[in-house]
Homo-oligomer: A and B are copies of this chain.
Amino acid sequence: MTDQSASRRRILDATRRLIEADGVAAVSMRKVAAEVGLAPTAIYWHVGSREDLLHAVLDEMVADLPPIRARGAGARDRIASVARAARQEFLDQVATLQLATELGRGNELSFRTQVALAREMTTADLEGDDAVAALRSILFLVGGFVVIEEQYRQRPPGELATRDLWAEVDDPDIDPAIREAMTGPTDTDALFTYSLDRLLDAVLD
């Protein structure tokens, strides 16, 4: 691992820089090669195909993720803190999430959270099918929020947000107050806390 060639090291670093600056789509073999001052074909010798290259970069990104640590005293607090930490991790590391999704390795990221949750469930003496169902439902909540928030952030300039679409709704079967509220922005932080709290209410003991 430590005796990799300097060229390989520079190729991986340049690729990661490209991804974090302009997204996965911005990575081309010719661009990476230019960045490190090699012929495009030299990349193949060091890291293999474009896909191999992206996988290698993701490996390093995943290794660099901070561990998910539980905080707090009670079981509920600790479980909630894991869920919040997992979400925060990917809000902070958008490139990692995007690359993992692109390569079909989102499950690897999810796994870290699964293990952390399983530890807290065990500590809290939660057992059996209920514990597993609770674990998985929390997992989907976190994963769902992260992925949807990410999609929301990547909405192309021209596209309308749903709050704009709501401004044009004129439906007598819909409470005007609800309609009005839907034209406002969504506070995803607050919504996540709310959803998580409600789910934990229902799922724990």
What B residues does A115 contact at CB under 8 A? 169, 171, 174
Quick check: A104 and B156 within 8 Å, CB to CB? yes
Number of A positions contacting B (CB below 8 A) = 62
Interface flag for A66 (CB, 8 Å): no
Mostly helix, strand, loop or mixed at chain A's interface? helix
- Please give me the residue from chain B that is nearest to A106 by CB atom: B151
A129 to B186, CA, bound (A): 12
A123 to B194, CA, bound (A): 23
Quick check: A194 and B148 within 8 Å, CB to CB? no
A191 to B140, CA, bound (A): 9
A121 to B174, CA, bound (A): 8
Quick check: B145 and A177 within 8 Å, CB to CB? no
Interface flag for A64 (CB, 8 Å): no
Quick check: B162 and A118 within 8 Å, CB to CB? no
